[in-house]
Amino acid sequence: MIKVMLYLSTGFVTLSILVSIYRLIKGPSTPERTQALDALGINMIAGMGVFSVILRSTAFFEVILLLGILSFIGTIALAKYMERGVVIERRSSD
């Protein structure tokens, strides 16, 4: 029963990843694309978690942590770019 639930959840996570990619490509506005990118990162983390449970391995925990950090940094950088137009502000020496 657990295996069936794990495989079903893998299918649903795959479907949600595909929907996130579609929204990332076709999104009508930049904030919706940013939200889709964040959702894609979360869905990838969930997929790796389910995959590690299926394989009964803890080797993917570092990958999950790395995906979480990179997804967070990417979302923050895109939000800052949408707000100010630049990611890294340079101060003039006047």
Q: Which two tokens stand for residue 84?
A: 């100010």
The SS3 assignment for 74 reads helix
Tens-place pLDDT, residues 34-88: 899 899 999 999 999 999 999 999 989 999 999 999 999 988 888 888 877 776 7
Where does 1-94 have alpha helices with state H?
Answer: 2-26, 30-55, 61-84
In 3D, which of 37, 42, 31 has the Cα closest to residue 74? 37
pTM of the predicted structure, to 2 decimals: 0.81
User: What b/e sequence results for 42-69 when a residue is b if at least 16 CB atoms lie within 10 Å of its CB, and e otherwise?
Assistant: ebbbbbbbbbbeeeeeeeeeeebeebee
Q: Sketch the domain layout of the chain as residue ranges.
A: 2-84
